[in-house]
Structure 1
Amino acid sequence: MTDSPVRLRFEDDIAVIVIDNPPVNAGSRAVREALLDRLGDLVGSAATGVVIVGAGRTFVAGSDIREFGAPLEEPQLPAVIAAIEALPIPVVAAIHGAALGGGFELALGCDARVASADAVVGLPEVKLGMVPGAGGTQRLVRLVNVAKAIDLVCSGQRVPAPEALALGLVDVLADGDLLAAALAHARSLGNTKRRLGEAPVLSSSETEIAAAADKAMRRGRQRPNVVEAISLLRDANSAPFATMLARERAAFQQLRSSDEAAALRHLFFAEREAGRVDGLAGVAPLPIHTVGVVGAGTMGAGIAVCLLNAGLTVQLIEQDEPALSRGIDRIEKTLAADVASGRCSTSRRAALAGSIALADLRDCDLIIEAAFEDLAIKQDLFARLDAVARPDAILATNTSYLDIAAIAAATQRPASVIGLHFFSPANVMKLLEVVRTPKTSDQALLTGLKLARQIGKIAVVSALGEGFIGNRIYSAYRRQCEFMVEEGASPQQVDAALEAFGFAMGPFAVSDLSGLDIAWKTRQRLAATRDPRERYVTIPDRLCEAGRLGRKAGAGWYRYDERGQRHVDSAVATLIEANSAVAVRRAFHAEEIQRRAMAAIVNEAKLVLQDGVAQRAGDIDVALVHGYGFPAWEGGPLYWHARQDREEAVKALDEVERATGFGFRRAG
């Protein structure tokens, strides 16, 4: 039993089962088999109770996702839970770290749950294209009402231990030693079993259930697994517990084998791989406690909120007092909204300081510049930052397109300069591009990656290149969509077709949201080097010249009302007609729009890989899903492309090449 991933020992009259499967005690077949063996060892023993606890840093962080791509080997998790329930003595789960997915289902199969104050619990299976499959839906609705269960399951949220206690998901929060608290609780139960399957379903009103279901469907984009999860929770009281368990398991098995679940598993592993860089063994990142943010506009304020919510101290800098005051007000409102919505338990406003003096950045471990997107301005700023920052401080720019090597050259510390490209709104979007120049040190790069982890971002490492990974691909996509508008499609038709494909927003709605002036400034910067033989659509320039800079101006590709709702504007159609370089415009259908847009994305993504801007295909998939609204259930553009008909893909790229004309570069 010494080599087993599950050990059994006794603390007087209580049996202690220890799961020891580093690094996160994933519920693999070996763990399930050993758990069954140890539970079997207790049959007929003198133990009056059992505590199941995880070794190391966590309870059971979840099932082993690597097993989900093939038929699951016996024994499966429901059999382990059935053995726990069959024991005549109470079983207590002692939870520290994470109890997620199958780990939380294991805990729900126990008679009670004791958690450390820093533990988290949850059922994130919906995020992987599935539903809980070992009783998670059916036991949960016996601890929280159906409406709340729909919210928890369909969001896949991690619930911190104090909130879990308030909801009834755990029974006790340990004050001090977790195992001691779990042993005491096991003894307090006597011989009483508390099988959740024998408890009543906690119902909600039909109005509450309908509201929760509607919210979940909108948030979950009406995906099949979300529909199934809601159905399982709604119907929990409609059939015997055993019948509903079987129905849940069947749904889990079917969804687990779906293309959508496979795509989401690909993303799961790609996200974890994205932040890794070969050749950096033995290099340690610098500590990060205090971060400076230069610029308190929309982006700078959003970055500051990210940092504050992660427990960091922030020194905010603006050029004058009115701008600083506006920025602090913006941050305070966002922090208050985060607390009100439950995203944060308490405001971190006290950790924010504001100033108009760059010298106040002297104690910062890392400084992030979020100033105006102009190379000369950024170079001047970095020269001044170099003079006031600590010699070991990292200097980072949030530029979307500009040459970071040229920015770093304005300093005496180019090895300490990196790009930290946040996506708007910075306090919401998960992606963070960490950009290295040829002179960026390994330590500076690792420090940027460390910061990404600290603030809960998914990091993707990029080399230098116009637009880095994401914006380079997005520019090729947007340009192809502009070609189609010039040829006869309407902006709303293009947006509708791509939203039907699965994008969160179409390219023209996105342009309005981010501001048309950003891409306009880039086009102006590149105008001098643009070959006049290249196809160039002037329509976006004309919109900008007319003051139609997007949602912030009340008009862009669309018109916006006082509530920010977009409306089709006939003035845009007139402007397109007047500025189209295509003599005879034609009708488009959604399939052609999708085909050309996707071919443009995939071709540029391949070029990004070919040019060494991205390390791996998975990094590109992660960037497009988490930064640009590509549908996660398709796994990212390169994963999606690998599953398409090769002949049809070549034909689509031929269309893109003909439409683009001179200068088109086809990936090898």
Structure 2
Amino acid sequence: MAVEMTRAGATIVLRLSNGPVNALSVGNGFVEELGAKVGEAASDPACRAIVIAGAGRMFCGGADIGDFDGDPEQVDRLRHLIATVEACAKPVIMAIHGMALGGGLELAMAGHYRVAQAGSRLGLPEVTLGLLPGAGGTQRLPRLIGAGAALDMMLSGKPVTAERALSAGLVDQLVDGDVVEAALEVARNVPPLRRSGTLPVPADLAGAVASRRAKLRAGLSQAPARIVDCVAALSGDLAAGLALEAALFGELLRSEASRGLRHVFFGERTVARIPGLAPDVRPRDVGHVGVVGGGLMGTGIALALLNAGLPVTMAELRPEALAKAEATICKTIQRDVEKGRIGQDVADARIAAFTAATELEALADADLVIEAVFEDMGVKKQVFSALDAIARPDGILASNTSTLDLDAIAALVADPSRVVGLHFFSPANIMRLLEVVRGRETAPDVLATAMALGKRIGKVGVVSGVCDGFIGNRMFEEYLRQVWFLLEEGALPQQIDAAMERWGMAMGPCRTMDLAGQDIGWAIRKRRMAEQPDRPYSGVIDRICELGRFGQKTGKGIYAYPDGRTAETDPEITRLIEDYSAETGLERRAFSDEEIVGRCLLALVNEGARIVEEGIAYRPVDVDMIYIHGYGFGRERGGPMFQADIMGLSTVLDRLRALAAGRNGWAWTPAPLIERLAAEGGRFGDLNIQDRNSI
């Protein structure tokens, strides 16, 4: 049974037991069963009180998000359950341990008394899915803890500790031991029926609403504004407030922002599953990691590993570079102490777990060695040839290459099955994406180990096959190709960046390349122009690079950086771009923001479709997660492939064909997968549920 019903004297205990988080699922009948059990207990003449608790590691993780895509009435059934609990004529005591989140906390607030175990956490995170608490949370939480505190909880989406919940009035009692036993003790004394929904409107309502409304920022998601609207509607008429909350919840549920955020929520879980991997494949133990290279990337990788509690040995042949890396690592860890993120004892342990060495031989005992040297095939081959002779025969060898052929690197190793790609994104200790590259010979358990390591260090790991640039950078190349074409055709850098940032990108493409280093892109273009002469780039960006303007690190790039950080429009670049257009015979024209965004997005979609069709990515959602976590694509937009489904693939195909008929039309030849899905009336989303074994 999903709801375990037991008796303890005159008290009936209902224990939620529905999977790992005790989700309040309507689709599988759990909510209906719980409601029936509450009704059964309420009508039992021998029962004087009811205790509701959670089985396993938590009270309740909330509503089943999968229900949100079904019949809207499913949410009404959850609301009915909560109303039934609150209206119960017998005291209902909630015994909270672990987590009480979302609908789980809304259920808890419907109880008449709440006991929480020390260390448990309570929160309403719906805003992170572009939603508001839709089962009474906006109406009951302010009545319990005040409007200001309630708004702060709901607008941040962050849970509070049980200790803080006690001081705020969200829970009535805090216990260190068995929370169910504590709740039973409360039940024996039969507490009064204190119904949250009947409590008075908080005195700070007007001021709290006005101050939080003034702080709202424009964005695709309207959830924050609607949360404030619901709290503003608090009155003595609970039913009216609940009706508004339900109506606004439905509005948000259908919004693009919420659909995108829910896509990301499920996508982060989907990409962790590797299709075709045998169930008996287990990751290897990794207790000691070696890092080759003490540059920016190697230092960031070492920090990410140390922050996860892993001992790290860094091998850097240049003593001065090694000393700089070690100093940076110590300084960064100590800064976390100063900011209150960790204690000094934790910092000391992390620093003690770091070993610096000037010889590769220091990595001989490592379970895993990550190469993070300069992005040059000759250099990487040299490192791997040396590592093959030094590393343990069962040690995993990983390359941080961002574009190079992993199979060519693995060919230098006697056993290429132990080679895998671990493409971190800079700064590696902050960026969440880890592109895990599966070579032709990579062993299944090596791939599983790489994904497990990514999870351990807090990354979103996504598997990619081998191709030039893998998933992310291969798509980014087509995105940039159109950006540079737009410059020569009439757009200016500041307009392109502003359009993309307003649409939802964390940073526009011109600013991004100035930050990354224009020389990096220049080197890649030189290589690709030699290898792919039939796919030309605009020469305007090379003209900028020829001036030695490589971005922030040189003080000038596409923009000028007088203070070394802040991008400022440079008239010299505007003249250079306009002169280039005139020199090449191009008549510049005006571009709307919509056209700029459309071209950039379609470039990503078309190349992403090719990558999925080739089996480089298992699923379209893998592409989306790479762009969300590695390239600053707005979570509310869901990712490029999700956006294509929003547009409709027949519309995408029509737009690609129109572009293919114009200037540089060769770059817009529609991917065959788009043509096929459009003809079938299909969606990229349909492919996310298929078990693809392409790689």
Q: TM-score, with normalisation over the residues of structure 2?
A: 0.86
Deviations 1:488-515 (A, max 9, x none): 2111111222223322222112212222
Q: Is 1:562 paired with 2:566?
A: no
2:527 is matched with which residue: 525, 528, 536?
Answer: 525
CA distance in 1: counterparts of 2:228 and 2:305, whole angstroms: 35
Q: 2:634 maps to what in 1? A: 631
Q: Is 1:125 paired with 2:122?
A: no
Q: Is 1:621 paired with 2:619?
A: no
Identify which range, 423-432 or 411-420, moves more after superposition: 423-432
Q: Is 1:64 paired with 2:58?
A: no
Deviations 1:565-597 (A, max 9, x none): 221111211232344463133122223222222
Residue 618 to residue 85, structure 1, CA distance change in 2 (3 Å): same
1:480 is matched with which residue: 479, 482, 489?
Answer: 482
Whether the 8 Å CA contact 1:88–1:191 is kept in 2: the answer is no
Q: Which amino acid in the other structure matches residue 53 of structure 2?
A: V
Whether the 8 Å CA contact 1:150–1:216 is kept in 2: the answer is no
Q: Which amino acid in the other structure matches residue 547 of structure 1?
A: G
CA distance in 2: counterparts of 1:647 and 1:663, whole angstroms: 19
Q: Which amino acid in the other structure matches residue 221 of structure 2?
A: R
Q: Is 1:5 paired with 2:2?
A: yes
Q: Secondary structure at the match of 2:242?
A: helix
Whether the 8 Å CA contact 2:221–2:257 is kept in 1: the answer is no
Residue 74 to residue 163, structure 1, CA distance change in 2 (3 Å): closer
Whether the 8 Å CA contact 1:175–1:181 is kept in 2: the answer is no
Deviations 1:55-109 (A, max 9, x none): 2343322211221123223762222222222335543333344432212222232
Identify which range, 336-345 or 431-440, moves more after superposition: 336-345
Q: Is 1:192 paired with 2:192?
A: yes
CA distance in 2: counterparts of 1:475 and 1:316, whole angstroms: 32
Q: 2:283 maps to what in 1? A: 285
Deviations 1:319-366 (A, max 9, x none): 445434433443445445556666667744512413024344344333
Q: Secondary structure at the match of 1:440?
A: coil
Q: Which amino acid in the other structure matches residue 127 of structure 1?
A: T
Deviation (angstroms), 1:159:
4.6
Q: 2:685 maps to what in 1? A: none
Whether the 8 Å CA contact 1:515–1:550 is kept in 2: the answer is yes
CA distance in 2: counterparts of 1:431 and 1:659, whole angstroms: 35
Whether the 8 Å CA contact 1:25–1:60 is kept in 2: the answer is yes
Q: Which amino acid in the other structure matches residue 622 of structure 1?
A: M
Q: Secondary structure at the match of 1:42?
A: helix
Residue 475 to residue 361, structure 1, CA distance change in 2 (3 Å): same
Whether the 8 Å CA contact 1:490–1:573 is kept in 2: the answer is yes
Q: 2:321 maps to what in 1? A: 323
CA distance in 1: counterparts of 2:523 and 2:105, whole angstroms: 50
2:367 is matched with which residue: 365, 368, 372?
Answer: 365
Whether the 8 Å CA contact 2:653–2:670 is kept in 1: the answer is no
CA distance in 2: counterparts of 1:300 and 1:378, whole angstroms: 14
Residue 73 to residue 396, structure 1, CA distance change in 2 (3 Å): same
Q: 2:680 maps to what in 1? A: none
Matches within 5 A, 1:150-169: 150-159=151-160
Q: 2:270 maps to what in 1? A: 273
Q: 1:258 maps to what in 2? A: 255
CA distance in 1: counterparts of 2:91 and 2:338, whole angstroms: 39
Q: 1:551 maps to what in 2? A: 552
1:659 is matched with which residue: 637, 654, 663?
Answer: 663
Deviation (angstroms), 1:608:
0.7
Q: Secondary structure at the match of 1:541?
A: helix
Q: 2:349 maps to what in 1? A: 350
Identify which range, 596-605 or 158-167, moves more after superposition: 158-167
Q: 2:611 maps to what in 1? A: 608
Deviation (angstroms), 1:47:
4.2
Q: Which amino acid in the other structure matches residue 31 of structure 1?
A: F
Q: Which amino acid in the other structure matches residue 554 of structure 1?
A: G
Residue 329 to residue 377, structure 1, CA distance change in 2 (3 Å): same
Deviation (angstroms), 1:383:
3.0
Residue 141 to residue 307, structure 1, CA distance change in 2 (3 Å): farther
Deviations 1:601-654 (A, max 9, x none): 111111111211111111112222222222333332222223325565344323
CA distance in 1: counterparts of 2:205 and 2:563, whole angstroms: 35
CA distance in 2: counterparts of 1:118 and 1:7, whole angstroms: 24
Residue 299 to residue 46, structure 1, CA distance change in 2 (3 Å): farther
Whether the 8 Å CA contact 1:94–1:182 is kept in 2: the answer is yes
Residue 662 to residue 247, structure 1, CA distance change in 2 (3 Å): closer
Residue 14 to residue 551, structure 1, CA distance change in 2 (3 Å): farther
Structure 2: stretches of 5+ with no match in the other structure: 673-695
Whether the 8 Å CA contact 2:623–2:639 is kept in 1: the answer is yes
Deviations 1:218-251 (A, max 9, x none): 7xx3521122123334x26566544433322221
Q: 2:643 maps to what in 1? A: 640
Q: TM-score, with normalisation over the residues of structure 1?
A: 0.89
Q: Which amino acid in the other structure matches residue 488 of structure 1?
A: G
Q: 1:313 maps to what in 2? A: 311
CA distance in 2: counterparts of 1:108 and 1:563, whole angstroms: 51
1:396 is matched with which residue: 395, 398, 414?
Answer: 398
TM-align CA RMSD = 3.2
Q: Which amino acid in the other structure matches residue 251 of structure 1?
A: L
Q: Secondary structure at the match of 2:128?
A: helix
CA distance in 1: counterparts of 2:631 and 2:611, whole angstroms: 16
Deviations 1:509-558 (A, max 9, x none): 22122222222222233343232x54222232333333322223332211
Deviation (angstroms), 1:478:
0.9
Q: 2:40 maps to what in 1? A: 41
Identify which range, 77-86 or 165-174, moves more after superposition: 165-174
Q: 1:217 maps to what in 2? A: 217
Residue 181 to residue 562, structure 1, CA distance change in 2 (3 Å): farther
Deviation (angstroms), 1:17:
0.7
Q: Which amino acid in the other structure matches residue 21 of structure 2?
A: V
Size of the aligned set, in residue pairs, is 660
Residue 478 to residue 20, structure 1, CA distance change in 2 (3 Å): same
Q: Which amino acid in the other structure matches residue 599 of structure 1?
A: L
CA distance in 2: counterparts of 1:285 and 1:82, whole angstroms: 47
Q: Secondary structure at the match of 2:430?
A: coil
Q: Which amino acid in the other structure matches residue 78 of structure 1?
A: R
Q: 2:297 maps to what in 1? A: 299
Residue 210 to residue 423, structure 1, CA distance change in 2 (3 Å): farther
CA distance in 2: counterparts of 1:506 and 1:261, whole angstroms: 23
Whether the 8 Å CA contact 2:289–2:368 is kept in 1: the answer is yes
Q: Secondary structure at the match of 2:435?
A: strand
Deviation (angstroms), 1:446:
0.7
Q: Secondary structure at the match of 1:585?
A: coil
CA distance in 2: counterparts of 1:118 and 1:95, whole angstroms: 10
Residue 94 to residue 654, structure 1, CA distance change in 2 (3 Å): same
Residue 483 to residue 74, structure 1, CA distance change in 2 (3 Å): closer
